[in-house]
Structure 1
C-alpha cells in the first residue's frame, strides 16, 4: 500500500468519527472571534466567481489572524455543493464571511486543512449561525472538503499585504489529497452520523437531496 493511499484511508477513518454536539452552548457562545472589515467584491463575468476589491479578515477565538487579501477570487467551491441546499448558497447571508475565509485558505493552502475547516466553523459562529447548523457544515467540509498534506512554503505566499499574488500562490499551492466521493452511499453514511446532532429539518432536506445523487 502506498503512503498516499495509507494517509487517505487514515483520513477517512478519522473523518468517520463525528463527536456528539456539546450539551451546553457555553463553549460555542465563547467562540466570539471578530471580522476585520467587510466583504467587498465584484462579481466576475462568469456570474459565479467574485474577486475581493478590499482586504478582509477574521480573528479567531484564540486570537489568530486569518487575513484575505485584495485580488482573492472565490466561488464557494470549498463547500461541497450538495450541502448548499442547507445554507442557500456559500455567499448567502450569515455564511458569506466564513465562506470567503475558508475559500481563500483552501486555495493557497498555507495552513493545515484541519485548521482551515475549524476556522470555518468558528467564523460561522461569529456571524450568528446556529450551533447545530455550524456543527453540520463544519463536519460536511471536514469530511468532503479540500485536503492537503503540506502547506505552501513559498515565503511570498505567507505574507499577506497589498502585493499578494493570489493567482501565483493558488497555482503553486500544495497538491490536493483525495477525499470521499460525494456519492449516495457516502452521503447517506454522513447523514446517519450527524442525525441527532442537527436540526430535523436539515436532515430532511439532505435526505430529499439524496434523490438527485447517483
Structure 2
C-alpha cells in the first residue's frame, strides 16, 4: 500500500486548505479497510493541541499532519452518521492506524489516540449522543 501525504496551503492564521484531493485507504482490522477522499478545499487546523503543549507537539508537524487532517475530516462527517459515537470511535481508530503507518513513534501515537478517544467519549456523554 502506498502512502502519500496531504498537500495543503495556508487558509487563515491557524488554518489550512487541502490543495488537492487526498485519498486514503487504512486497514482497520485484517481484511477490513476504510477508504475515501478528503476533498480539495476542505479546511483544517491540523492537530488540535492545547497551546501549552506546542513545544512538545506542534500542531503542524509534518510527521503527523496528514493523519490529523484525515481525523478532522472524519470527525466533521461524524455529525451526519446514524451513530455519532460510533463514527467518532472509527475516526479515532483510523487516526491511530494512520499515525502508525506514518511511522510516528509509539508514545506519540498512544498519547494522541487516547486524548482524542477520551475527548470524544466525554463529548458524546455530555451531548447525549448514542
- TM-score computed with the length of structure 2 as normaliser: 0.74
User: Are 1:127 and 2:102 an aligned pair?
Assistant: yes
5+ residue gaps in structure 1?
A: 1-32, 150-175, 179-214
TM-superposed CA distance for 1:134, in Å, is 0.5
1:76, CA displacement in angstroms? 2.7
Q: CA deviation at 1:145?
A: 4.5
Report the equivalent of 1:108. Answer: 77
* Superposition pairs of residues 31-50 of structure 1, within 5 angstroms: 34-35=2-3, 37-44=4-11, 46-50=12-16
2:119 aligned residue: 144
The offset of 1:55, in angstroms, is 0.4
Q: Are 2:25 and 1:59 aligned?
A: yes
Unaligned runs of 5+ in 2: 82-86
Distance 2:69 2:36 in 1: 11
Identify the match of residue 67 of structure 2 among 95, 98, 104: 98
Larger-Rg structure? 1
Which structure shows the bigger proportion of residues in helix conformation?
Answer: 1
Please identify which structure carries the higher strand content.
2
Alignment of 1:4-83 (within 5 A): 34-35=2-3, 37-44=4-11, 46-61=12-27, 62-76=32-46, 79-81=48-50, 83=53
- For 2:99, what is the secondary structure of its paired residue? helix
